[in-house]
Structure 1
Amino acid sequence: MSSLTGKPVSFWIDSTATTQYPALPNDIAVDVAIVGAGIIGITAAVRLKQAGKTVALIESKHLSTGASGHTTAKITSLHSLIYADLIKDLGEEKARLYAESNEAGIAQVVEWIEQEQIDCDFSRQNAYTFAESTENVDKVEAEAKAAISLGLPASFVKDTTLPFPIAGAVKFENQAQFHVRKYLLHLAKKIPGEGSYIFENTQVRGVENGTPCTIETDRGTLSAQEVILASNLPMLDRGLFFAKSYPKRSYIVGASIARDRAPEGMFIGTGENYRSIRTTPYNGDVLLLIGGEGHKVGEETQTEENYRKLEDYARDRFGIDTCDYRWSSQDMVSFDNLPYIGNLTPADNHVYVATGMSLWGMSKGTMAGMLLSDLILGIENPWAELYDSLRATPFVSQTSIKENMDVAIRWVGDRVKGLNKDLSDVAKGEGKLVTVDGDKVAAYRDESGTLHTVSALCTHLNCIVNWNSAEKSWDCPCHGGRFSCDGKVLNGPPLADLEKVDLS
């Protein structure tokens, strides 16, 4: 089997400098502490500072290297096929609020880019949801009609600049794309100073609601009148957001292509094996980005095949020989397709959360930062009720029942995995689950032959992790926690690393 091509890192991160903000010193006090320095956290921080608040933006690693740094970076209110379903499930009024709030998110991004003259490869583009076969064309036509009825810049078309025929597509005019990390790093420069801060390499361990709130980190303690949790999935379980959504992982490859061979616009397919397509400036030509092969975190282990399928698609449809980049992304999908934005719990009246962007974080994330800043400033916002984080309906949906039953089944059933006791079966570059003296062990042998052994129990709620072969990581299929091959936390909700196991 051929080896994967492309540098295994997000293009957005690889093409920008690593930020060097300090870690948190002890005993800092601000008006608002924001946990998570992606598009939600940075948007909220900038708006709150502009309103006169002092803020502290806290990031466990480096700015915008989490979900925001691994996106496809489409700034659009076209979210695959959603508006027809929203009208059917929630009614036209709420569907229109969803459309208007996402259009407002786009407008905020454009306003800041123009005001700040941000060099971030911004361009206006049309966006398309396309059906290649007649099987899904009725859904596409229904989506176009629904979007038009809500006042969105939509139409149904049968021709695009893609180098292959389609049966039909929803077209949204005057949408946009950008280099997300160039944009966010520029905005972040507006935050420090005048009593406001950015702290990197600082992991939040706990938050206590109060007046003020207390934020415990691995570096020290910080106090704030209000706290925003914007870390993809909150690290605090008391809001139960890990049970109101599920983690989805998807894959992207990037390949250099001549401008005259590249499609114009941004595209998302329909059906189970959909593809996401866009381009971005790259070395005098453009980088063609193709995404897809999404699955729930931890459900697939031989993840190299997902990259291979995307490479094959690039080769077959666009004549690409090799890829320059490959990376994966992770987001939380809410059970009703709406983000959760508001208080963490009814008792946490000074702690706010934004999660469940459901793979469309550029418009939704910006909108979430706008809404959170309004909530903290006491400004009435027409979207607050629609996205209320405390709404109960997701718990009774068919999707929520299925996903939470799946978690329960895995928690019990995965205990029988990894019965192999022979560590010699673990090849170089491979990870396997083994059982040693009745304990589940996650064993990885690096390319030099050294064996790394850690507990296979996720430190969130003790589910059994699975090996992710393409990312060389241990992934939890229950709530999306991910760990490096030697057990270090990569994605929440777990806060603690996998426990080391000494087999000497």
Structure 2
Amino acid sequence: MERKSVWNDRDYFERRPPLEGDRTTDVLVIGAGAAGLLTALRLTQSGREVTLVDAGRTCGGATNNTTAKITAQHGLIYTRLKKQFGARAARAYAALNSRAIGEYESLVQSRGIDCGFERLANFVYSLDDERILREETLAAAEAGLDVHFVRETGLPFETVGAVKTENQAQFHPLRFFSAVARDLTIFENTRVTDFREGEACTPGGRIRARQIVFAGHYPFLNRPGYYFMRQHQERSHVLVLEGAQLPDGMFIDEKGGGLSLRRAGRYVLLGGANHRTGEPGGGYEWLAEQAQKYFPNCNIIDKFSNQDCMPIDGLPYIGRYSSRWERVYVATGFQKWGMTTAMAAADILAALIENRPCPEAELFTPARGPSRGVGNLLRDGGKFVKGIAVEHFGGASHTVEDLAPGQARRVKLDGRRLGVYRSETGELFAVETRCPHLGCSLEWNPDERSWDCPCHGSRFDYRGRRLDGPAEQGAAKKDHL
């Protein structure tokens, strides 16, 4: 299901037909979001025949709901990279992501893309810890970024300072990617239903390919790869403000749940309130409070949310899907920096497929072990155990009669555990609370009226329709209560 954001003031993408009939191609890219489009573009430019398929519309998922910052300064990343992986890894990360910004600019200029691309400084600020900002400034400078510590940010609230990284960028993502997609072969509403190395099956036909890339946000194959054990998903929220003033630059709190800000034409995007998918949110309400506090004369004209894959060791997985498959590749785990990482992934994947040297590929390889993320691996495993336990042994003491309009609860009816939502008009909608992915218990998300899985991040609307993977099908529903 395609979701709307501030970028969707008109339909930038021409509609593409679903696949009908069998097809043979050099490279099949599964997922027509930012990473899929850029990978396809790179490979097409080198003379390969590339076919993209997407289960929905082109850029209808995470790319549609981004804040579209293009930056190599991903929070306090370089201090952590240096400690966990070493100074060489930090330099490689900075070089790859800085190159990605330049490649965006080159495409904008060479193709004359009207997407509001502009170079701006990026600020990572802190409300209370100057020490960690100064430590990050030193680490980022050592990694090769043009960065310095500043005390003043111009923000409408007090900070102790910020890490200021020069010459980063922002743009209008759908204007850019609609231009990139124009000359690519894309089949929309074409879900891959079965897969083996060298061939993918869809409802309309088979696609045979020498190389296959999974670029659809979250890999839907549990085995091999086991990506569901190696990352979890988080949601973040954005309010679109009219009448708010913001200084030049892009801004983000060093704390994960803090505020993110950028201008978008006459609007300001106020984001943040991150939380694990399936856990209590209240993000829109909190952001509205911050908007009223810091921009008292603004109007909230829109809101949207996004979902991000968070790898256990803090680095994306880009490379071969599994050691068992030599010609199958993946790009996932972009955390909250999908725009820059999508371009970086396209560079790495194109180099691997074309058998060219790529010095950064080793850092991001999915073949790396979990040794630097054992704590997160155990935590995520505990979430899975808890989710299974809740589904099998958790209570369901509420009754359908207890539900007020606009409310949802887990109830037990005819021996089945159901999640029941009563609409504002009084209509009831019931789904099984067992996630069809691996059986965890779904939790109600009142902000977005959805049933969300805290284990692996699958989401379903109150009718049971799939919103986000890794689940490949909707939640089972009960039509008559």
TM range (shorter): over 0.9
Q: Structure 1 137/223 Cα, relative in aligned 2: closer, same or farther at 3 Å?
A: same
SS in 2 for 1:375: helix
Change (3 A) 1:272 1:60: closer
SS at match of 1:344: strand
Partner of 2:345: helix, strand, or coil? helix
The CA distance in 2 between the partners of 1:489 and 1:398, in whole Å, is 30
Report matched runs for 1:78-477 at 5 Å: 78-133=73-128, 136-191=129-184, 197-209=185-197, 213-238=198-223, 239-257=225-243, 261-271=245-255, 273-281=257-265, 286-300=266-280, 303=281, 305-393=282-370, 397-420=374-397, 422-477=399-454
- What is the letter of the counterpart of residue 280 of structure 1? A
Counting matched residue pairs gives 478
Identity of aligned residues (%): 35
| Cα distance in 2, alignment partners of residues 493 and 46 from structure 1 | 26
Q: Offset at 1:384?
A: 1.0
CA deviation after TM superposition for structure 1 residue 436, in Å: 1.9
What is the rounded CA distance, in whole Å, between the counterparts of 2:434 and 2:65 in structure 1?
27
1:395 Cα deviation from its structure 2 partner: 7.5
In 2, distance between residues paired with 1:18 and 1:56? 17
Q: Distance in 1 between matches of 2:194 and 2:368?
A: 24
Q: What amino acid maps onto 2:187 in structure 1? A: F
1:161, CA displacement in angstroms?
2.4
Contact 2:391 2:433 in 1 (8 A): no
Distance, in Å, in 2 between the alignment partners of 1:395 and 1:428 is: 47
Query: Shift of the alpha carbon at 1:418?
Result: 4.9
Listed as ranges, the gaps of 5+ residues in structure 2 are none
Q: Deviations over 1:252-302 (max 9, x none)?
A: 1011126xx322100001235411010111xxxx111111110110011xx
Q: Which runs of no fewer than 5 residues in structure 1 stay unpaired?
A: 1-7, 192-196
- Counterpart AA for 2:234: K
C-alpha separation in 2, matches of 1:15 and 1:268: 28
- The superposition leaves residues 46-80 of structure 1 with CA deviations (integer Å, 9 ceiling, x where unpaired) of 11111111111111111112111111110000111
Q: Is the 8 A contact 2:391 2:434 kept in 1?
A: no
Secondary structure of 1:441's aligned partner: strand
How far is 1:399 from its partner?
Answer: 1.4
Q: 1:19 to 1:434 in 2, by over 3 A?
A: farther
Q: Cα distance, 1:394 vs. partner?
A: 5.1
CA drift of 1:18 comes to 5.4
* Pairwise CA distance, 1:438: 2.7
- 1:431-477: CA deviation from partner (whole Å, max 9, x where unpaired): 22112233221222233322222221111001111111111111111
Alpha-carbon distance between aligned partners in 2 of 1:121 and 1:320, rounded to the nearest angstrom? 26
* Matched residue, 1:73: 68
- In 2, Cα distance between equivalents of 1:425 and 1:452: 14
**C-alpha contact 2:313 2:372 (8 A) present in aligned 1:** no
Which 10-residue stretch deviates more, 60-69 or 314-323? 314-323
CA contact (8 A) 1:148 1:154 kept: yes
Measure, in 1, the Cα distance between the counterparts of 2:395 and 2:9.
36
Report if the CA contact (8 A) 2:243-2:298 is conserved: no
The answer to whether residue 35 in structure 2 is matched with residue 35 in structure 1 is no
Instruction: State the alpha-carbon separation in 2 of the partners of residues 76 and 325 from structure 1.
Output: 25
Deviation readout 1:190-229 (Å, 9 max, x if unpaired):
21xxxxx2011111122201xxx11112332211111110
CA RMSD after TM alignment: 1.6
Q: Which shifted more, 453-462 or 168-177?
A: 453-462
The answer on whether the counterparts of 2:29 and 2:52 sit within 8 Å (CA) in structure 1 is: yes
Worse overlay, 330-339 or 396-405: 396-405
Classify the secondary structure of the residue corresponding to 2:279: coil
Structure 1: distance between partners of 2:133 and 2:373: 28
CA–CA distance in 1 between the matches of 2:396 and 2:348?
Answer: 49
How much does 1:396 deviate?
5.3
Aligned in 2, Cα 1:265/1:322: closer, same or farther, shift over 3 Å?
same
1:119–1:383 distance in 2 versus 1, CA, 3 Å = same
Q: Identify the residue that residue 194 of structure 1 maps to in structure 2.
A: none
**Per-residue Cα deviation, 1:125-182 (whole angstroms, up to 9, x for no partner):** 100001122xx21101100011111110100111122233321110000100001111
Q: Distance in 2 between matches of 1:347 and 1:320?
A: 58
Q: How does 1:50-61 map to 2 (within 5 A)?
A: 50-61=45-56
Partners of 2:18 and 2:189 within 8 A in 1: yes
Call closer, same or farther: CA 1:425–1:344 in 2, change over 3 Å: same
After superposing the two structures, state which structure 1 stretch, 100-109 or 320-329, moved more. Answer: 320-329
Does the residue aligned with 1:493 lie in a helix, a strand or coil? coil
TM-score computed with the length of structure 1 as normaliser:
0.92
Output the amino acid matched with 1:463: C
1:447–1:411 distance in 2 versus 1, CA, 3 Å: same
SS where residue 377 of structure 2 aligns?
A: helix
Contact 1:394 1:400 in 2 (8 A): no
User: Quick one: distance in 2 between partners of 1:470 and 1:457?
Assistant: 21
Preserved CA contact (<8 Å) 2:243 2:299: no
Partners of 1:244 and 1:394 within 8 A in 2: no
Distance 1:472 1:289 in 2: 22
